Amino acid sequence: MYTMSPFAGPLMSDEEAMKKYVDEKHWGLTVSIDLGECDHDKISSKEHITQFAIDICKYIDMKRYGEPMVVFFGDEPKVQGYSLVQLIETSQISGHFAEDTDRAFIDVFSCKQFPPEKTAEYVQKYFGAKKMQYAICFRDI
């Protein structure tokens, strides 16, 4: 069903991840979501990506700080597409959408807890991706 980057360690349920976050008093939580075989029209639409930034914040109960920044760039087809930055009061949501290969790479980072698995599933559905892998990282020093 889901695959995992070999560099991130084992996946946890949302309950396990949020318990670890609270019990170990981590400073922040990141979920990195890689999508493949996305709906091309969705990842190629500035309007859809902008609305995603608004909707994901509502879904995971994060307060946006300003409007989403969505910019199209890239000289090479491999990297050409939109990039997204949405500041939130507890950090940021960012992403890049590779139109040539219908892939997307989205990171949600916050010092407020949120459910990483449900977030990844929401992102996958939002962009109509047939493939998805995600990694959870607890942030600290």
**What does the pLDDT read at residue 2?**
54
What is the pLDDT confidence band of residue 63, given thresholds at 50, 70 and 90?
very high
CA 43, CA 34: separation in Å to the nearest integer? 13
CATH number assigned to the domain comprising residue 131: 3.60.90.10
What is the H or E stretch that residue 59 is in?
A: helix 46-59
User: What is the dihedral angle through the alpha carbons of 78, 7, 106, 72, rounded to the nearest 10 degrees?
Assistant: -20
Q: What is the pLDDT of residues 80-104, one digit of tens each?
A: 999 999 999 999 999 999 999 999 9
Q: Is residue 18 part of a domain?
A: no
Q: Residue 80: helix, strand or coil by DSSP?
A: coil
Q: Which amino acid is at 49?
A: I
Q: Is residue 104 part of a domain?
A: yes
Give the predicted TM-score (pTM) of the model: 0.90
Provide the domain count of the chain: 1
Q: Is residue 9 part of a domain?
A: no
For the chain, list the strands marked E by DSSP: 28-36, 69-73, 81-88, 91-98, 103-110, 131-139
Q: Is residue 134 part of a domain?
A: yes
Range of the domain at 35: 27-139
Q: Which residue is it, tokens 């600290």?
A: 140
